[in-house]
Amino acid sequence: MSPVLYVVGLGPGAMEQITQEAQGALARATDVLGYDLYVTRAIALGIPEKTTIHMTDNREELDRARHALELAMQGRIPVVVSGGDSGVFGMASAVFEAVAGGPEVWRDIDIRIIPGVTAVLSVAARLGAPLGGDFCVISLSDNLKPWDLVARRLRLAAEAGLVIALYNPRSRSRPGQLDLGFATLREVLADSTPVAFARAIGRPAEQVEITTLARARGESADMSTLVLIGCAHTRVIERQGQNPWLYTLRRVP
């Protein structure tokens, strides 16, 4: 049997938003590797009793990936876990970076990426249907890319008329960037463009704030927030005593 390694997306947080395929991978694990928050969630979802737990800091992704590949070569069944989908700012890319820089035999490992519901999908479902047209997903973190590039991408995405989903919008080390991002977008998009801040969707601390680009403030977001910026075809449906629904027209006139 060739060595096997699973990289699993656990979905946005609610237990019932994981796929059966992801649950099946967890059930086979001899080792679970990941950031504390996601390993804890994997344990709650159900892993075999004797599974070895490897919790590591969120910034040690490449080390974690190499460790998982080594475990696979030893004949164990490692499962690397990410929140949402592991391919979207999760662990999948780190695993292949490790493979590319590692020994040739790692290319024979049967690496099974198990997709999951990524945050932009659960947030959109909670808000209505804001992704009804074309859209993009951008990480606002400049840990991995220069801020100039982030700003340039925001401007071009807005010029293209794409709905924009921002992952990692804010952290303690860069409190001002989201406001810079909004300022960039205001140069292209109308003041009335709908903006949503969706925090911890699918988890008990869930919070939604819907506003306009003119009024949007970075302080409404933290690292658990996904920020969604509409386009010229995003509409608001007001409702009594509840958050309005957002949706984007399928048809562009």
**Binding positions for a copy of itself, 145-174, rule CB under 8 A:** 145-146, 149, 152-153, 156-157, 159-162
Of the ranges 4-12, 69-77, 172-180, 192-200, which one interacts with a copy of itself (CB under 8 A)?
A: 4-12
Q: Would you say 35 and 52 are in contact if contact means Cβ atoms under 8 Å apart? A: no
* Residue with smaller CB distance to a copy of itself, 18 or 221: 18
CB of 128 to a copy of itself, least distance (A): 5
* Residue with smaller CB distance to a copy of itself, 9 or 34: 9
* Residue with smaller CB distance to a copy of itself, 138 or 189: 138
* Residue with smaller CB distance to a copy of itself, 63 or 219: 63
CB of 23 to a copy of itself, least distance (A): 8
Alpha-carbon span 5 to 70, nearest angstrom: 10
Structure tokens at 149: 């590039």
Choose among 6, 11, 27: nearest CA to 114.
Answer: 6
Chain position carrying tokens 């969630």: 41
Amino acid at 215: R
Q: Which residues contact 132 (CB under 8 A, 6 or more apart)?
A: 247, 248, 249, 250
Q: Provide the 8-state DSSP code for 84.
A: B
Alpha-carbon span 180 to 157, nearest angstrom: 15
* Residue with smaller CB distance to a copy of itself, 50 or 238: 238
Q: Which residues pair with 35 in a beta bridge?
A: 56
Per CB under 8 A, contacts with a copy of itself among 211-250 are: 235, 237-240, 245, 247-250
CB of 121 to a copy of itself, least distance (A): 4
Per CB under 8 A, contacts with a copy of itself among 176-205 are: none
- Could you say whether residue 94 binds a copy of itself (CB under 8 A)? yes
Angle (deg, nearest 10), helices 92-100 and 61-73 = 70
> In this structure, are strands 194-199 and 4-9 parallel, antiparallel, or unpaired?
unpaired
Per CB under 8 A, contacts with a copy of itself among 29-88 are: 61, 85-88
CA torsion 41→139→159→127, rounded to 10°?
20
Q: Which residues contact 56 (CB under 8 A, 6 or more apart)?
A: 33, 34, 35, 63, 64
CB of 124 to a copy of itself, least distance (A): 4
Among the listed residues 134, 203, 214, 217, the single contact to a copy of itself using CB under 8 A: 134
In which region does residue 46 sit, left (phi positive, over 0), alpha (psi from -120 to 50) or beta (all else)? Answer: left
Among the listed residues 39, 79, 124, 185, the single contact to a copy of itself using CB under 8 A: 124
* Residue with smaller CB distance to a copy of itself, 133 or 218: 133
